[in-house]
Amino acid sequence: MLSFFNSSTLDLNSYPKTAETIQAVIVEPENESALLEQVELFKRDSNNLATKSDDLTSRFNNFEQTIDQRIADLINTITQENKELKSSIKL
């Protein structure tokens, strides 16, 4: 959640001391609503990422299985052709 501070109500004793790191955003009052709207859009997008991530994981697993099956089929085909070639050479 974003917090906006008014310098007249800011109590410096309750905030980080020397050598502490903070993240702060200073927003002009006239830009506050635009920033809040952007934050809501980012929140909405980040909620969709989990769904997309699961979907991508599922798609990747399916892709991996398909490739594994195709490689196995190619190995079988090559093995069979190799046997046929050896057989024809012996004749």
5 in any annotated domain: no
7 in any annotated domain: no
Q: Which residue has the tokens 């859009």?
A: 41
The pLDDT confidence band at residue 90, using thresholds 50, 70 and 90, is: confident
**Domains contained in the chain, number:** 1
- pLDDT tens-digit series, residues 14-31: 665 666 777 887 888 898
6 in any annotated domain: no
* pTM more than 0.85: no
1 in any annotated domain: no
Structural domain range at position 19: 12-90
34 in any annotated domain: yes
With a cut of 70, say whether residue 73 has pLDDT above it: yes
Q: Which residue has the higher pLDDT, 22 or 1?
A: 22
78 in any annotated domain: yes
Contact by Cβ (8 Å): 27, 35: yes
With a cut of 60, say whether residue 6 has pLDDT above it: no
